[in-house]
Structure 1
Amino acid sequence: MKHTTLSNTDIKISKVCLGTMTFGQQNTEADGHAQMDYAVEKGINFFDTAEMYSVPGRKETYGSTEKIIGTWFKKTGKREDVVLASKIAGPNPGLAYIRENMDFSPESIALSIDKSLTRLQTDYIDLYQLHWPERKTNFFGQRGFKVQDDAWEDNVHSILATLDGFIKQGKIKYFGLSNETPWGMMRFLEESKYQNLPRIKTVQNPYSLLNRSFETGNAEVCMRENVGLLAYSPLAFGRLSGKHLSGESHPNSRIELFPQLARYNSAKTTEATQLYQEVAHKNGLTLTEMSLAFVNQQAFVNSTIIGATTMEQLKENIAAFDMVLSDEILKEIDAVQAVIPDPAP
């Protein structure tokens, strides 16, 4: 397992990050513990979670993922071996059961951090992230920005000052953004620079062969400002495993279980996936191997978040990071992207 440092820090992290959002819904506590055991055995020391997990968000399963990670920490005593990332949920009427005010006010941040620490059975979170913006903008499958009424008032200074307080208390070490735009990233960077406040270290956004929209705007911000991308959905909800191309039903897959969450069900997505699979097979690779290796090789990617519902999937995904794609394969990938650019926003 290759390692690097969390951007702009001296914390060593694995290039593969274990995503955990299935723990507590698709995966039992025993499943989650087994995945974390295997990940650590293979050299993965970076776990990502969120207060709202498992996914899809439901009142009955809210916080279940953090609880499973917490019982694993208690059982194994390996808290110090893991770089732990979690997130605070932003505004969403469907998640009002999380807390009364779904905002990033000082009170909401304090409440969310303390509840996460309790569930995780730890005294600190290494990387604390804003799960999505408070303002109305394009994220979660929205392809472009649309002008619309927005009551949001710029509170970036307040957020940074509040997080600075928790850093000084030792409850969090660093913080990052998620599902963010170039404007949002630069707004936080600007405020931290001129107000001497903590700086964002990472941004967690979707990035895969089926969604390379991060390359337009965000990638340049990451490269020039030394902010690392934590790439999520590198297999596009399993679409880039190739298993959905046969027409066979996969009732336990996320795409079939939770169609309301799928960004990857269009005809163009299927067409692009078929073309990428042809490139992979032509070069002696599985589509999974090529898809994960592609994301891993991008210079702006700090770590790639993988999730699995079975140990077989987890083992295959981790093994794929040993692959290095040649310049010729990368050119063939770009040729598909030129024909069908980013079919899944």
Structure 2
Amino acid sequence: MDYRKLGRTDLSVSALSLGTMTFGRQNTPEEAFAIMDRAVDAGINLFDNAEMYPIPPAEETRFRCEEIMGDWFAARPGARDKVLIATKVAGRSEMGWLRQDGHKPKLIARDINEAVDGSLRRLKTDVIDLYQVHWPDRKMPQFGGNPTVFDLPVPAEDETPIEETLAVLGKLVDAGKVRHIGVSNESTWGVMQYLRAAELKGLPRIASIQNAYSLVNRTFEVNLAEACLREDVGLLCYSALAQGYLTGKYRNGRLPEGARKTLFDRLQRYEGPGAEEVNDLYLDLAAEAGLDPAQMAIAFAVSRPFMTSVIIGATGIAQLETVLGGADVVLGPEVMEAIDALHRARGNVSP
């Protein structure tokens, strides 16, 4: 396993990290324990979580992922020393059931403080290594980063300034509850505002950004990649397999038992105009190169110069073994050229 420095911190993180959003919904605690055990054995040292996990979010399963991970730490003496914990506070949303008094969450002091204390308790730890803003407080032109078609949103009247959110996060660092901070589903403007506020106000710099990135969504390369490389903000990418579409399991309309689309039908981000055709083209490219399509997609993401870690998820050990193998695959120049040619011709069909 390759290890890479996280931003300007003293942390080295594995090129693959473990996403946990299925724990407590698609995975039983016993299955989750086995997945975490195997991930550590493979050299993964960063586990990613969130207060609202598992996904899809629901009041009856809220906080369950963090609880399961905390139980795993309690049952595995010494595991905490091997694993860096990343978790997230929810941005502005309608999910009042995330807060004790039922109010709708925002990125203000009382919400962030309640959220971090809850995460620490559930994770059974005294410090979170990387605490991330799950999504911005402000309304975005497109959720998750750079839109391919710009849609100007109407700002909320009570929008929380980034400087205010960062000041609260800074107090958490000062209090020793959080070691480093990051953002998620953020834009280039947002990243630079966080960095500007840190410099002007003497507050902690964001170390990372967690955005979607895959063969069918390379929008991170437009502006964000340059900004993050020059400013040492590491990308922790999610959905490198396009929620499973780049594995081929949904090809020709298949709906495998237990798969996320089969269970929840929430994958519309990866079902837009042209997506099915382009997914098939990448699957064909992998077959022609003699590669497992999931491993080709993972290997491509890992190879990017702006990539710190690719967040992988699995609902079983067999799936996990496949995606773990992607870290060992080196794509040759012909495959890379074919990938870029396909991207230039077809673009970001699943932004």
Letter in 2 for 1:287: P
Find the aligned partners of 1:9 and 1:140 in 2 and give their Cα distance.
Answer: 24
Alignment-derived partner of residue 122 in structure 1: 125
Match of 2:342 in 1: 336
Taking the aligned partners of 1:237 and 1:301, their CA distance within structure 2 comes to 19
Deviations 1:169-202 (A, max 9, x none): 1110000000000110011011111211100000
SS in 2 for 1:27: coil
Find the counterpart in structure 2 of residue 287 from structure 1. Answer: 293
Q: Distance in 2 between matches of 1:91 and 1:25?
A: 24
Deviations 1:87-116 (A, max 9, x none): 0001121x1110124111111111000001
| Unmatched tracts of structure 2, length 5 or more | none
Asked whether the equivalents of residues 290 and 325 of structure 1 are also in contact (C-alpha less than 8 Å), the reply is: yes
Report whether the alignment pairs 1:32 with 2:38: no
Instruction: Give the equivalent residue in structure 1 for 2:269.
Output: 263
User: Take 2:44 and 2:154, find their aligned partners in 1: how far apart are those partners?
Assistant: 43
- Give SS of 1:203's match: strand
The CA distance in 2 between the partners of 1:79 and 1:190, in whole Å, is 33
CA–CA distance in structure 1, aligned partners of residues 220 and 169 of structure 2: 26
Aligned pair partner of 2:108 in 98, 105, 119: 105
For residues 1-345 of structure 1, the aligned pairs below 5 Å read 1-77=1-77, 78-93=79-94, 95-99=95-99, 100-137=103-140, 138-140=142-144, 143-150=148-155, 151-153=157-159, 155-266=161-272, 268-345=274-351
Q: Distance in 1 between matches of 2:301 and 2:268?
A: 20
Tell me if the contact between 1:237 and 1:262 (Cα under 8 Å) persists in the aligned partners: no
Segments of 5+ residues of structure 1 without an aligned counterpart are none
TM-score (norm 1): 0.96
- The amino acid that maps onto 2:81 is E
Distance in 1 between residues matched to 2:274 and 2:344, nearest whole Å: 13
1:249 deviates by 2.6
Offset, 1:49: 0.3
SS of residue matched to 1:305: strand
Rounded to whole Å, the distance in 1 between the matches of 2:16 and 2:211 is 15
Amino acid aligned to 2:19: G
Query: Measured at CA, do residues 222 and 140 of structure 1 come closer, stay the same or move farther in structure 2, by a change above 3 Å?
Result: closer
* Identical amino acids, percent of aligned pairs: 41
Q: Is the 8 A contact 1:17 1:306 kept in 2?
A: yes
* Contact 2:46–2:85 under 8 Å retained in 1: yes
Q: Over aligned residues, Cα RMSD in angstroms?
A: 1.4
2:160 and 2:76 map into 1 onto residues whose CA distance is: 43
Cα separation, 2, equivalents of 1:162 and 1:318:
37
Alignment length, in residue pairs?
A: 344
SS of the aligned residue for 1:238 comes to: helix
- Asked if the contact 2:106/2:160 (under 8 Å) is kept, the reply is no
Q: TM-score, normalised by structure 2?
A: 0.95
- Give the ranges of 4+ consecutive aligned residues of structure 1 lying more than 6 Å apart after TM superposition: none
Q: Take 1:154 and 1:245, find their aligned partners in 2: how far apart are those partners?
A: 42
Q: CA deviation at 1:143?
A: 4.4
Q: Mean alpha-carbon deviation: is it higher for 141-150 or for 296-305?
A: 141-150
